[in-house]
A and B are shown apart, each in its own frame.
Chain A
């Protein structure tokens, strides 16, 4: 079943056309990769889907409804959650607290709820604690729960970001270059985590430069170059596509 459908999505910044009539569909349960050289428009595409930016034209359908131009928070509330390349962890908070803060959108209650703690708030807090632990177990950080996030090695910080995003209860999880800056070992752990998340039935869209990871995990791939989609297909198809090879000439090598 189609979960996300992007049609003729276009975004221009002044003279630059960052996304030029991009279209693709992704099915529930996919691990869908978006690849392309730097500046190809991948992050822009994520920004358009998640409501950070409004498209110049084109539309985004999610679970059968038009979400084009909806506010970021509303799209997130529908279950489209992303991690950002540049958004940081809460470094001075503990690993566990980072995940707990991630439950903000999935929970409710303000000052009154905090002071009087009625039954539903106590149950909600218990749920937050238990599910935080579960998510930490999912990404393999349960033994570091009490540690200040800053003290985690780089690779584990990345996993924590993913756990924090998972707390919002995504149906579609969007990861922007999750493996950037990780070594082979860390990347392999990351791959396992992404696979486990996908096994729980969560659909994944992934921007990634690490071709090993992409080729190993992706069910389908879209290739962007200068804002245009130049190829789409399975890893095997994309790997031998002449247009893709041309675009990557002098860039990263396709495995």
Chain B
């Protein structure tokens, strides 16, 4: 277009190139090194899927869900039961569990999403607790608090992804698909409606956006992401228990969202990776590790309050492009 926009496109290109370089270097290190680093990266990617979905509901539509772990549990147990007990194909089990999660999200969301603010937070929180209880009580199905082991790795037909490296590679593809979907949604009429709701429900309503309906759809989509993440977890570790999908999942995912940059496309992924690797980086501190971990998070939130993704927009600030990565 104009000379000015050609010049100002430069920092954007550089920032994107830098971000890609960091990602490639990290992956090269992870796949080269192998061992526990691959395991940590696997968890990071699983959480990346989880928070990308949650971000649609919390970051874009501006709603709070403290019960997203319920849908991860549904995905995890769905995959465990269907694959280990019924011998279904992993992809079939994943799709069936995600469908069930979507239906339950619809049923649970219908009455609760009319609630506002902390009522919604409490209702979703209760959902997480109830699922947790159920996964202990329904021990015929879930093996109770002892957990469910012997879940096969991800695979297709007779072909199984036996190494963690191979699983990680497929997980990264799944995550990229998840980000691609989020990106398509973001840049559409649907996504704009979510953003509008996130900022001002009365204004969105006045422009003809059916606020409740859009919230419900966002909640269902987030539930599908959570469910898929749960299924991935079950395959990756081969073992799940009620604890795995407990409250810590909620706090961890919130940390990732805010550290990475809520409401941005890649921020949640960056947050998932950083928050997953941070404890490993701090292992040298031994007893002090937990304290330093918390301090590190606080320092990040003080100096980059809008999350890691805001570093990217900082680099391109002068170029007049909307800050959206």
Q: Do A and B bind each other?
A: yes
Please list the residues of chain A having a beta carbon within 8 angstroms of any beta carbon in chain B: 73, 76-77, 84, 86-94, 96-97, 100-105, 107-111, 113-115, 117, 121, 124-125, 128, 146-148, 164, 168
Q: How far is the CA of A189 from the CA of B322 in the complex (A)?
A: 26
Q: Indicate if the CB atoms of A105 and B208 lie closer than 8 Å.
A: yes
Q: Indicate if the CB atoms of A104 and B193 lie closer than 8 Å.
A: yes
Q: Indicate if the CB atoms of B185 and A114 lie closer than 8 Å.
A: yes
Q: Answer yes or no: B207 CB below 8 A from chain A CBs.
A: yes
Residue of B nearest to A143 (CB): B320
Total interface residues on B, using CB and 8 Å? 27
Q: How far is the CA of A84 from the CA of B202 in the complex (A)?
A: 10
Q: Indicate if the CB atoms of A93 and B199 lie closer than 8 Å.
A: yes
Q: Answer yes or no: B19 CB below 8 A from chain A CBs.
A: no
Q: Indicate if the CB atoms of A104 and B207 lie closer than 8 Å.
A: yes
Q: Indicate if the CB atoms of B195 and A90 lie closer than 8 Å.
A: yes
Residue of B nearest to A112 (CB): B190
Q: Is the interface of B mostly helix, strand, loop or mixed?
A: helix
Please list the residues of chain B having a beta carbon within 8 angstroms of any beta carbon in chain A: 181, 184-185, 187-193, 195-196, 199-200, 202-204, 206-209, 217, 221, 320-323
Residue of A nearest to B185 (CB): A114
Q: B140 to nearest A CB, angstroms?
A: 36
Q: B22 to nearest A CB, angstroms?
A: 26
Q: How far is the CA of A235 from the CA of B48 in the complex (A)?
A: 63
- Most A CB within 10 A of own CB, among B187, B190, B207, B320: B207
Q: How far is the CA of A111 from the CA of B235 in the complex (A)?
A: 29
Q: Indicate if the CB atoms of B192 and A87 lie closer than 8 Å.
A: no
Give the chain A neighbours of B221 by CB distance below 8 A: 111
Q: How far is the CA of A192 from the CA of B188 in the complex (A)?
A: 33
Give the chain B neighbours of A88 by CB distance below 8 A: 200, 202-203
Given contacts A111-B190, A113-B188, A113-B190, contact A84 B206 (CB under 8 A): yes
Residue of B nearest to A92 (CB): B199
Q: Indicate if the CB atoms of A104 and B189 lie closer than 8 Å.
A: yes
Q: Indicate if the CB atoms of B217 and A111 lie closer than 8 Å.
A: yes
- 4 nearest A-B pairs in the assembled complex, by CB-CB distance: A114-B188, A105-B208, A146-B320, A90-B199
Contact among A87, A113, A146 for B202, CB-based, below 8 A: A87
Residue of A nearest to B319 (CB): A146
Q: Indicate if the CB atoms of A146 and B321 lie closer than 8 Å.
A: yes
Give the chain B neighbours of A125 by CB distance below 8 A: 187-188
Q: A84 to nearest B CB, angstroms?
A: 6
